[in-house]
Structure 1
Amino acid sequence: MLMLYPLPVLSASSGLQRSLSEIKYSSSPDAQGAISDALKKYVPVPSACVITVCLFILQHYGSHKIGFMFAPIVTIWLLFIGGVGIYNIFHWNPEIFSALSPVYMYRFVRNINKDRWKSLGSILLCIAGSETMFTDLGHFSKRSIKRTFVCLIYPVLILCYAGQAAFISKHWNGPENFNHLSESIPEHLRHVFILLSLLASAVGSQATITASFSIINQCRALSCFPRVKVIHTSDKRHGQVYIPDVNWLLMALSLSITLGFHDITRIANAAGMAIVFGMIVTTCMMSLVMALYWEKSLFISGFFLMFFGFVEAVYVSACMLSFHKGAWYLFVLLAVSFTVMLAWHYGTMKKYEFDLQNKVSTEWLTDYSPSLGVSRVPGIGLIYTDIVMGIPAFFSHFITNLPAFHQVLIFVSFKPQPVPCVPPSQRYCVGRVGGKDYRIYRCIVRYGYCDQVRDTDDFEEQIIGSIGEYISLDESDCESLTSPEGRMVIVGTPLLEGHALIPVDDTNLFSGSTNAGNNETLAIPEGELIGRNAPVRRKKVRFLIPESSPRLRVSVRDELQELINARESGTAYFLGQSHLTVRDGSNFFKKFLIMAYVFLDKNCREPPVALNIPHAALVEVGMVYII
């Protein structure tokens, strides 16, 4: 998809160069030729670079604001090229509609030669950008994309290309004399066409950029891409995201392609290759969906794969003829991106397998740790781990070396689901580790690839609220799951629907003492206590138990009060700091993937930042992972 960014911008800039070169200057023919050569050399690439930089700078405003700016432009552009297409059809060759018949395609294939075969790669550029609409599903609804494509985009494209074909049928003098589509525009509208094409090229590149953000965000949620900062630019559509690091990286690569190739033909060859490879991957995945998800017969899915795969294989063979003319760069980008995704996924899975093999049982923590002299300290300990059963190795390593943990422990695990969004009523799955007296809980947070549960500022409050809901619903008849550790209850978003704990917003940001009258305990982060009367920051949200709630028994109320007291005493966050090493005797491929993963892990976003963990309350436990 990267090859599609500079293509429309550079193409429109080339049209600007042609428009300027057609201006008649009061000079000799030799001087006019020199001016034309200078315009051809210095106008397209710099103007394309300027438009590219401006386009990427606008990305932080989000798809909604950018779409509001670009919607009138693309609407006028579509109506313009559709109107020009209708004019060319009826003015030059009304019979051009007969070219839509597949008979002409059969004649083209029957009389195929090397030049015609090579031109198949250029035909793919006719659909460049249209497939990007369907990768923007995270930014726009599926219904709007379908209606827009069927009712507007596709008919306008047919009219535009038919009009150009009608013009070419009457003015064809060979490819060396007809190099740009602006030739089919009426002369008195060519300057308007150049202006609109420049603006529309930015819109076309914008669709590809937003699609890249969506794809990378989904890959990140599925542990196939390194941790990057994702900014959700819309409160209504969770799929509208902006990724700053990826944005600037794409801008740098786009500028390098534009400056390195400075030739639209080479970029077009690489773009055609990218399009056809995307079609092949889509066809293969679609056949698997038909066989596994739709449960169609193998004959139907196989026929679908063979039919469309054969057509796409023909286009691949045509694009390979231009491999040395720019298409090779696509394979370089493909190798780099594939290595990054494969290394990150491989390292993540190996770490998870190591955690599963080296975890300790819950009995070790609940039964044997008291015999080791482990003491309980006030507060809540949130242990982030990838495993959903047992005790992670890094936490047992911590207790072995420092025999103490908090009076309330909560093991938090994030589990992605292969759906866009998990309903709030099904998001948290809470259970106990050991008996009630241990006050140890496990909370599994389930999220879809469009959810943003990790980046919310009130995530700690949601976890505490879900634990409170679980305590009140532990013995009631509610939806639950069975795990080897016992019963786990599915609770919804506690801050919106909870009744066990009442969240109270604390509007007083600073205070210098503890208000014992209403049991308000202030949170003092480590390293910020300067003196007895030093101002400290209150917690953002406090919890209270309802004064009159007949459904809460005394034991439940006591457990909730202990949870509140622990939370008021402070919260500590435990994270495992992994150090991966390769086992002796491993092959080169495994060593290379682990080395790549370690490099990416050191240079990507840190886990405490990705989870919005305050540094004053963070405890990182180092562990050596031998892979």
Structure 2
Amino acid sequence: MLKLAVGAIGIVFGDIGTSPLYAFRETFAGHHKLALDPLHIMGVLSLMFWSMMIVVTIKYVAIIMRADNKGEGGSLALLALVSGRTKSRRWSAGIILLGVFATSLFYGDSMITPAVTVLGAVEGLAIAAPAFGGLVLPIVIAILIALFWVQKSGTARIGLVFGPIMLVYFTVIAVLGLISVVQTPAVLWAFSPHHAVHFFLADPVRAFLALGSVVLAVTGAEALYADMGHFGRRPIGLSWLVFVLPALMCNYLGQGALLFREGTAALESPFYMLAPNSLQLPLVILATMAAIIASQAVISGAFSVTQQAIQLGFMPRLRIEHTSAATAGQIYIPIVNWMLMVMVILLVLFFRTSSNLTSAYGIAVTGAMFIDSCLLGVALTRLWNWPLYAAAPLLGLFFLVDGAYFSANLTKVPDGGWFPLMVGFIVFTFLTTWSKGRQLMMDRLREAAMPIKVFITSAASSASRVPGTAVFMTSSADGVPHALLHNLKHNKVLHERVILLTVKIVQQPYWREADRAMTEEMGDGFYRLILRYGFMEEVDVPAALKRVHGCGAEFKMMDTSFFLSRQTLLPSERPGMMLWREKLFAWMLRNAESAMEFFRLPTNRVVELGSQVEI
């Protein structure tokens, strides 16, 4: 438990742990400035504490993390869990679209997080060593390029030092905060919620606008849920309550105490000014390391979410490389990595300061949190069957808090909030177009498919049989694969053993190895084989075939040929999708990773046969 809790501190809490770099400062010095008086300082501190208690502690740690999909968390895992129970409902399609949009917003967040955290950390250089202030942007870009460059070699070894570094980081920021609090102990009254209420009653407009910056203190809360599969609910909850939450509150209270004493003189960066001048440069280095770790967690998260989206049918196949033989979750997706790098560097060059970037930060996070509350509502009432009188007050509190944060962040849209929304809508369009186009294509193929029993009785006796095994990959578990029809039409032969193989991705993370294969003998050397995989698993067809029994003799790769069907889409005016979406789907299909590599098929044993399909 202790080892897992320390590991969670290194991986899970990087994002929320680097929020003190900019969250408290932005509330007072951001786009909606606040007066540095007791009303506003105590009000903001109280809002930050109770936000962390309601959003992180109660909503995520205590409740949402119980809605695990066989141990896995995250919006897509929760969506897969919930949608399985609501398929017959009229509103099930809406729930699926909400979950997909939450995933889409994550990509916008994964671009902004590395930019704002690394920039916020390195900006301390201008305070610790003003002569080097002009080097902030070049240093940030160099760090980001190096960070994305090392992804291809894997992060397993680097990950070993993440926990100790973050332990030191949280300890240092807690001690610096406590030293400041001891000098101005009155800030401890900020734990009382009446300061937050008084802030709203005395200055309601500014209090509402301040929520757009206060929410920066809880960005990264969704990472606790997404990374639950790596560490488990209890270690994450333990490390949050015992170590991370106290450290963060010590630092925020220390920054508030500093503003009480110094006023505007400390507003440039209250985080760095907590440290004496001689320690500011080491603090910049430590904060930069913490920012890199926070960025690493988001990048790894983008790879994991992409893999889940591919497996669940929302994204075309992409090349996925494994960077660790021991850990299945250590993956690297080149196209996602380089696209993220380009977008992150463009964000740094366009916004130039962390203060400007925070105007774009928050709207994606609060949008995803609001959607998580919607999915939680379904989980409470449909999965756990909570009575309405118990679920309604809790959901009401979450919707009130998440709704307030999201609406406050909407005021940032003109100043940069449009960026994550734009990214979210573009990704959402791609995901839904692929899912709908794939469904239409399978329907069209099914329409033209011949019943397998008819094919076997008519073709098996008339065609010449040749030695060996032919495996025909088909997405449908019924009907004759197009590749089989084309092979018979052009080559006029059938193999001694014909396997009709379908790979199904189920809506749970892992599938038992013992129950992976389901076989059916259809006579005349024909067999139907279905392989099931969880959405967190890698598909390896040759490895699975070695363990299959019930399809005749043992499989030998040198006697086995794999036949794949490659469809060429012809966009048409048939009802289904708008013409521009059909063309987009056709482009995505052309650029998808080949089934051969995705299913790990031996390259010298694959035959591809093409066909044209109208959708």
In 2, Cα distance between the equivalents of 1:84 and 1:402? Answer: 77
The residue number in structure 1 matching 2:544 is 462
The residue number in structure 2 matching 1:329 is 419
In 1, Cα distance between the equivalents of 2:506 and 2:560? Answer: 28
1:358–1:393 contact (8 Å) kept in structure 2: no
In 1, Cα distance between the equivalents of 2:495 and 2:154? Answer: 42
**3-state SS of 2:360 partner:** helix
Map 1:168-183 → 2, pairs under 5 A: 168-173=259-264, 177-183=267-273
Identity %: 24
1:192-220 deviations in whole A, cap 9, x for unaligned? 21111111111111111111111111111
How far did 1:335 drift? Answer: 1.6
| 1:409 aligned onto 2:498 | yes
How far did 1:189 drift? Answer: 2.2
1:213–1:241 contact (8 Å) kept in structure 2: yes
| 1:295 aligned onto 2:295 | no
How far did 1:394 drift? Answer: 4.0
TM-score, normalised on structure 2? 0.78
The residue number in structure 1 matching 2:116 is 7
2:568–2:613 contact (8 Å) kept in structure 1: yes
Cα 1:174/1:315, change in 2 over 3 Å? farther
Residue 582 of structure 1, aligned match among 550, 571, 583: 571
2:114–2:291 contact (8 Å) kept in structure 1: no
Cα 1:345/1:232, change in 2 over 3 Å? same
In 1, Cα distance between the equivalents of 2:414 and 2:173? Answer: 34
Q: What amino acid does structure 2 have at the position aligned with 1:460? A: P
In 1, Cα distance between the equivalents of 2:557 and 2:580? Answer: 47
In 2, Cα distance between the equivalents of 1:384 and 1:568? Answer: 15
How far did 1:103 drift? Answer: 0.8
**3-state SS of 1:446 partner:** strand
The residue number in structure 2 matching 1:84 is 176
The residue number in structure 1 matching 2:50 is none
TM-score, normalised on structure 1? 0.76
| 1:107 aligned onto 2:189 | no
1:543-595 deviations in whole A, cap 9, x for unaligned? xxxxxxxxxxxxxxxx53xx66xx477221111111222332548x5222221
Residue 48 of structure 1, aligned match among 128, 134, 140: 140
In 1, Cα distance between the equivalents of 2:395 and 2:584? Answer: 35
Map 1:103-252 → 2, pairs under 5 A: 103-173=194-264, 177-252=267-342
| 1:442 aligned onto 2:528 | yes
The residue number in structure 2 matching 1:305 is 395
1:94-146 deviations in whole A, cap 9, x for unaligned? 23222011111111121234333222111111122343233223444444323
How far did 1:52 drift? Answer: 0.8
- The runs of 5 or more residues in structure 1 that have no matched partner are 22-34, 472-558
How far did 1:65 drift? Answer: 1.4
How far did 1:383 drift? Answer: 0.6
Residue 127 of structure 2, aligned match among 7, 13, 18: 18
1:139–1:237 contact (8 Å) kept in structure 2: no
| 1:273 aligned onto 2:353 | no
**3-state SS of 2:435 partner:** helix
Moved more, 246-255 or 608-617: 608-617
2:473–2:481 contact (8 Å) kept in structure 1: no
How far did 1:235 drift? Answer: 4.4
Moved more, 322-331 or 133-142: 133-142
How far did 1:366 drift? Answer: 1.5
1:442-468 deviations in whole A, cap 9, x for unaligned? 1111111221133xxxx32531440xx
Cα 1:87/1:461, change in 2 over 3 Å? closer
1:138–1:240 contact (8 Å) kept in structure 2: no
In 2, Cα distance between the equivalents of 1:369 and 1:240? Answer: 46
| 1:597 aligned onto 2:591 | no
In 1, Cα distance between the equivalents of 2:495 and 2:544? Answer: 19
Q: What amino acid does structure 1 have at the position aligned with 2:117? A: P
In 2, Cα distance between the equivalents of 1:339 and 1:272? Answer: 22
2:519–2:529 contact (8 Å) kept in structure 1: yes
Moved more, 4-13 or 298-307: 298-307
The residue number in structure 1 matching 2:511 is 422
1:266–1:327 contact (8 Å) kept in structure 2: no
2:472–2:498 contact (8 Å) kept in structure 1: yes
Cα 1:179/1:160, change in 2 over 3 Å? closer
In 2, Cα distance between the equivalents of 1:56 and 1:362? Answer: 49
| 1:58 aligned onto 2:47 | no
Q: What amino acid does structure 2 have at the position aligned with 1:123? A: V
The residue number in structure 2 matching 1:541 is none
**3-state SS of 1:453 partner:** coil
1:410-454 deviations in whole A, cap 9, x for unaligned? 111111112221121121111112x2xx12111111111221133
In 1, Cα distance between the equivalents of 2:602 and 2:299? Answer: 32
2:542–2:601 contact (8 Å) kept in structure 1: no
Cα 1:225/1:302, change in 2 over 3 Å? farther
- The runs of 5 or more residues in structure 2 that have no matched partner are 1-108
**3-state SS of 1:451 partner:** coil
The residue number in structure 1 matching 2:487 is 398
Cα 1:43/1:568, change in 2 over 3 Å? closer
**3-state SS of 1:270 partner:** coil
How far did 1:70 drift? Answer: 2.5
**3-state SS of 2:264 partner:** coil
2:364–2:421 contact (8 Å) kept in structure 1: no
In 1, Cα distance between the equivalents of 2:365 and 2:318? Answer: 27
Aligned residues: 506
Q: What amino acid does structure 1 have at the position aligned with 2:415? A: K
In 2, Cα distance between the equivalents of 1:569 and 1:161? Answer: 65
In 1, Cα distance between the equivalents of 2:392 and 2:467? Answer: 62
Q: What amino acid does structure 1 have at the position aligned with 2:560? A: T
Cα 1:84/1:461, change in 2 over 3 Å? closer
Cα 1:77/1:174, change in 2 over 3 Å? closer
Q: What amino acid does structure 1 have at the position aligned with 2:256? A: A
Map 1:527-542 → 2, pairs under 5 A: none
Considering Cα pairs closer than 8 Å and 6+ residues apart, tell me whether 1 or 2 has the greater RCO. 2
| 1:608 aligned onto 2:611 | no
| 1:98 aligned onto 2:189 | yes
Cα 1:64/1:145, change in 2 over 3 Å? farther
How far did 1:353 drift? Answer: 1.8
In 1, Cα distance between the equivalents of 2:392 and 2:317? Answer: 37
The residue number in structure 2 matching 1:385 is 474
How far did 1:157 drift? Answer: 0.9
As a proportion of its length, which structure holds more helix? 2
In 1, Cα distance between the equivalents of 2:120 and 2:143? Answer: 12
Map 1:483-494 → 2, pairs under 5 A: none
Larger Rg: 1
Q: What amino acid does structure 1 have at the position aligned with 2:526? A: I
How far did 1:286 drift? Answer: 1.1
The residue number in structure 2 matching 1:285 is 375
In 2, Cα distance between the equivalents of 1:220 and 1:149? Answer: 32
In 2, Cα distance between the equivalents of 1:240 and 1:585? Answer: 43
How far did 1:367 drift? Answer: 0.6
In 2, Cα distance between the equivalents of 1:463 and 1:568? Answer: 9
**3-state SS of 1:238 partner:** coil
